[in-house]
A and B are shown apart, each in its own frame.
Chain A
């Protein structure tokens, strides 16, 4: 079995640019296997940009991203397809395919990447939907269910192939506190049960304290990481006023 605690994602000297605007400059960090790693920061600090670079949707201006020993930012894109089967992404807007039922959404990667017969796929799909408490909703269309249910269905789809790493972009955005707490618990349970590494981008303080093993905080003016560590530790002991005001949820006054 693969060892827990070894680095699974390595980001080195990552610089992200849109046109002339530099969003992130020389950012380096590592995510360890089996941990829930949370990226926090105020709006516009480049959290989502960082995530898009980590899942290979954007190419960095400089630096590299290595997932499971494969450099996904390399010129030669041969490794990236293999890595894509090892990662699952939960998008902010769920990104379920509107023309497919929930079961078809979840079954899509199973049908494309495995040679399982239909009954086996159905069984796995029912299990996945059961894991996210959506048992019985196989034949519903995404437009027929609520936002929280869409998020959970998208999570079931992201988990279809039991990826090593799950990425979450603002999982609790637009959800009520109860649904949001349930999603946090689900993330926690899956991490505990399957040992899945999770990278979560969020600015919901409650979620951060509930699920995070380790956080990094990004800052807009710094264009990089200003704090790293356990969220409770950062809240109680950080001397940086920006970090302290974020974790205490108070306005930053000069």
Chain B
């Protein structure tokens, strides 16, 4: 590296002719600063090689050394050897000049060619001194942060409530004016949420049934109560796990998709376009998604129940010496219509929550790509939270009804 060589030469106060410039041109980081003259006297600095962004750090250090005590009485910068100058290099020369002026040291450039002059003219001295118009991300204190978090929570709650009102109004209108609903869209989303989601729902519930049956059989076998495995899987799935598992999967698959879709539309001003064309974005975008989810989630739940029972059946037949007939008979005996219906009603409520919060988070997006990501995450997390809260509420209510 020539610059290191350059420094050594300067410390020795010897003059060494510039290195082989032809050879240096090929090398990207060849660059050197030579200083002539005595400390405190007239000093000439000859710069050669590439004065560019990759040498900025080294050149800056070299320049700092010029101001050591005693400072020079005058400074001349010779640019003859410079064979490449970019805007970072021009910035360096500008710094050199500014600092010399600040120290009232007479300063001049020699051999400043046309190209270097052109580049230096692009460096706006005033701009370098301009203070930012806006401070950089101020740091918050604990209480400030806490206060902001509370405000954010309250605003969020308010916005969700407002959206719920709007959605209910739009759904009410859809019920009284069925023709106003875009049924083509509804069908499209039913396919996306339902048909496309079926394989994963089926697989997960089958495995869930299998695991439940297997785990419970280990205990029940000890009491010779093999047959109750069927009851456990049936009741557990139909009343609780079926609706919940299906809802969780749909929240992950479709709630997030709704938020991302509406969020991106919000970023692209498509939602604004709908508004000025006289469409209500809630009716236009949210209603088909919510309707589709509400119609399809109970069906998915039924599938989930069936596949889970099939999973339990597999364990029952292969591991517990039960016949298919006994297993199914026992399952049907324990289940009541009320269990099945309450599970389906629950799943409809979950569908409302998932699709509703997905759309609401989408409409909330302000800004760009990152906001869409945040909305998607928030849609899933909020949906999961709401599903659990709603399920607890159902558990209490259903306990008193039955």
Interface residues of A (CB under 8 A from B): 1, 98-99, 101, 110, 114-117, 120, 123-124, 126-131, 133, 135-140, 142-143, 159, 161-162, 189-190, 192-195
Contacts and interface: CB of A to CB of B under 8 A. Distances in A.
Contacts of B54: 114
Nearest to B57: A116
Contacts of A129: 127
Contact of A127 (B87, B137, B369, B371): B87
Contact of A136 (B84, B121, B123, B130): B130
B60 interface: yes
B132 A193 contact: no
B246 to A, nearest CB: 35
Contacts of A99: 368-370
A42 B128 CA distance: 41
Interface of B: 52-54, 56-57, 60, 83-84, 86-88, 91, 95, 115, 118-119, 121-124, 126-128, 130-137, 367-371
Given A114-B53, A114-B56, 14 more contacts: A110-B53, A123-B95, A124-B53, A124-B87, A127-B128, A128-B87, A135-B124, A136-B132, A137-B132, A189-B122, A193-B118, A194-B86, A194-B118, A195-B118
Contacts of B122: 131, 189-190, 193-194
Contacts of B134: 139-140
A103 to B, nearest CB: 8
Contacts, number: 103
Nearest to B82: A1
A162 B56 contact: no
Contacts of A123: 91, 95, 128
26 contacts: A98-B367, A99-B368, A99-B369, A101-B136, A114-B56, A120-B57, A124-B53, A124-B88, A126-B128, A127-B88, A127-B128, A130-B124, A130-B128, A131-B87, A135-B130, A136-B133, A139-B134, A143-B367, A162-B53, A162-B86, A190-B122, A192-B118, A193-B119, A194-B86, A195-B115, A195-B118
B138 to A, nearest CB: 10
Contacts of B133: 136-137, 139-140
A152 to B, nearest CB: 12
Contacts of A1: 83-84, 115
B314 to A, nearest CB: 48
Contacts of A139: 132-137
